[in-house]
Amino acid sequence: MAETKTREDVIEKIKKLLRQTEGDGTTIEETAAFAARAQALMTAHHVDGAALGDIWEWGTREGETVDSLQAEDGLYSAKQLPFWICRLANCLADLNQCEAFLQVIPNHGRRKGLKIICVAGATINLSAVKYLFDYLHREIVHLARIYCVAYCQKFALQRAPTNWRNDFKLGATDAVVSRMRSAREEIFEHVNPKALARIDSMKRAAELWIQEQVTKSGPPVGNRREASPFGYLTGRRAGAKIQLHASNALEEEGPT
């Protein structure tokens, strides 16, 4: 009886968070935080979309609007995109039933040739992608700085080689994504066919939106020069320690 009540409480908390993503006056940052916290609870307590009823159906029915993160709202921009950044963006989009694509600023002004990683999908999924990308990008860069200091001390260097630093970040990215994929597969084992069909429709809607709205689109592809197996393996070990569901992500209060 206690377990049933606990699960019902969790479902109600998830619904409350999802409703808050569409509240009047809610900022983009707040929407992203609410969506990510709802997703964290769904993952931690094995709650599928079917258990959430009509609120989960928003954005998955035929004819629903697909939104996008473009231009200044994009995930990341640079003239040369790091390979690990593209890997992180593509994987997070896929894990959240979205589709990542690339926009390039026309050849004028100081932003000439700037490449922007954009995402298309249902609004609530875009919020989750944005929140997770910002969080994981920050964590991976922070870890890389810590491990680069240790690397330089060990080998008496002023600066860690560029390929070691980039492959460290790629290894950390792959470790995090692998854990997230495993968690999703475990959840999907308990999801009914109707809910799976809704999830697939969200992904297809994002793909169709890009085909119709974006010319010369393609997935973000970054540059990876000389590989560093040692950097990559070190990053994989470090990435295994990144907390995917921070304690504040499970709190009932709104974002601070």
If one compares 13 and 20, the residue with the highest pLDDT of the two is 13
Q: Average per-residue pLDDT in the chain?
A: 76
Look at residue 35 in the predicted model and tell me its pLDDT.
Answer: 66
As a whole number, mean pLDDT of residues 167-187 equals 88
Judge if pTM exceeds 0.75: no
Most confident of the following: 58-62, 129-133, 199-203: 129-133
pLDDT in the model for residue 253:
36
Instruction: Indicate whether 177 pLDDT > 70.
Output: yes
Lowest mean pLDDT among 23-27, 179-183, 207-211: 23-27
Hey, how many other C-beta atoms are within 10 angstroms of the C-beta on 21? 21
What was the pLDDT predicted at 46?
Answer: 66
d(CA 33, CA 207) in angstroms, rounded, equals 25
pLDDT at 193 over 50: yes
- Condensed to tens digits (0 to 9), the pLDDT of residues 240-253 reads 988 875 433 333 33
pLDDT in tens, 141-176: 999 999 999 999 999 999 999 999 999 999 999 999
107 or 24: whose pLDDT is higher?
107
Reading the block at residue 91, the tokens are 């994987």
Binned at pLDDT 50, 70 and 90, residue 30 comes out as low
Q: Measuring CA to CA, which residue among 124, 10, 119, 7 is closest to residue 57?
A: 124
- Check residues 245 and 82 and name the one with the higher pLDDT: 82
Mean pLDDT within 69-83 = 79
Contact between 36 and 127 (Cβ < 8 Å): yes
Residues 25-39, mean pLDDT to the nearest whole number: 61
